Structure 1
């Protein structure tokens, strides 16, 4: 494989959220769920109902023109609280759950990955100048925003989606919340 040059990313903004620490933490033994008082279902229910702000650097405000015409956007962001040493994990139990089989990092949505670029599709509630208000975004306060894109089902929707049983189980459990 040919050697590639390093990629340099510059954040375009920052997340302002009530979430102050990640639900998943990475350690030498893999992923673990944060020991909070509420269950994972209660946590997801609360996140789904909450709103947060995407504060785009004022120099990029013009790039947002027209975004308010979309009901949903894709937010690419960086999980800044992940220790670079923990990005060396190769296999994990999804969501830190020992009842699920270990999977390669690229087969999971784990934030502990070689290049921890995360993406979420979220409803766009409002735009005011350089600030986007979104709903149901599970990003920690202070997370750098790498990019914002409009959600378009003609480009992003897939037909006949197949997922492994363990991922379907996670989705069922979260959706039940």
Structure 2
């Protein structure tokens, strides 16, 4: 896979919390795309951004159960039961508010990727792809996310 673009972010280090304070955008690769690749996207309020955790050392990739964030108060759960960056294929995905489309650049709110992260894909968020029926989530995951988006 080739990146379609890169993240520009005020966050330079992959810290776990306070992502609401981060200003971010994604700019597509001008050698491969023209602004018409984004035609119609501004009619959507949100986009899913798929990106690569490119600075995660392959030696730190997790394939087994572990305590999220090393917190032994939380249960050991498999890598596929958490959203950690040390994933087998190091792929991240986040639903972001789309604030503006300007040429090849998307200005976003809620993108939890650091500066210069390669972007693999952008998809418009559609309600019809949202979960259907009730959602279920364990208590420890709510504790983990308590400071992720808010200050």
Answer yes or no: same fold by TM over 0.5: yes
Structure 2 match to 1:16: 8
Higher RCO (Cα < 8 Å, 6 or more apart): 2
| Alpha-carbon distance change, 20 to 124 in structure 1, aligned in 2, over 3 angstroms | same
Specify which of 85, 108, 117 is matched with residue 111 of structure 1.
85
Q: Which runs of 4+ in 1 moved over 6 A?
A: none
User: Which is higher, the Rg of structure 1 or of structure 2?
Assistant: 1
Which runs of 5 or more residues in structure 1 are unaligned? 1-8, 25-39
Q: Is the 8 A contact 1:49 1:135 kept in 2?
A: no
Q: Is the 8 A contact 2:95 2:110 kept in 1?
A: no
Which runs of 5 or more residues in structure 2 are unaligned? none
| Alpha-carbon distance change, 138 to 175 in structure 1, aligned in 2, over 3 angstroms | closer
User: Size of the alignment, in residue pairs?
Assistant: 149
TM-score, with structure 1 as normaliser = 0.77
Q: Is the 8 A contact 2:8 2:25 kept in 1?
A: yes
TM-score, with structure 2 as normaliser = 0.89
* Residue 162 in structure 1 maps to residue 136 in structure 2: yes
Which protein is richer in helix relative to its size?
A: 1
Q: CA-to-partner distance for each residue in 1:135-175, whole Å, 9 max, x for gaps? A: 12111111100000000111123321111221133345557
